[in-house]
Amino acid sequence: MGRLTSVTTQPKNLAHRRDLATVVHEDLLHSEVEVVVDDMSNSFQKTMACWPIRMFVVNPTTGVMEFKAQPDLSPDVYGYKLEALGEWLTENVGGCSS
């Protein structure tokens, strides 16, 4: 994983939201992890307070949240230290490639 910036219009329908998730899944994550999409009512966002900056790892078998990335709002980072997510993935699911 590296430093990337995403610029797109706000999805107006679920198909557009799925298309964007597909780009992230295939082009940025190289299909190495499962990506899920919130519904257009943003049910997950409202429940988990995940916007604008949160990342979650949910066990696809149990539905249990295994990891919740916390943002670092210090001026030199102001976002995520992706190393924490990478370390968690390495320890728990065999890692990820950059």
Alpha carbon distance 71, 59 (integer Å)? 21
**Omega of the bond prior to 52 within 30 degrees of 0, cis?**
yes
Is the confidence at residue 33, as pLDDT, over 70? yes
Is the confidence at residue 31, as pLDDT, over 70? yes
Q: In this predicted structure, what is the pLDDT of residue 67?
A: 86
Alpha carbon distance 84, 81 (integer Å)? 6
Q: In this predicted structure, what is the pLDDT of residue 1?
A: 46
DSSP structure string for 2-44: -------PPPSSHHHHHHHHHHIIIIISTT-S------TT-HH
pLDDT digits (tens, 9 = 90+) for 8-26: 788 899 999 999 889 888 8
Is the confidence at residue 96, as pLDDT, over 60? no
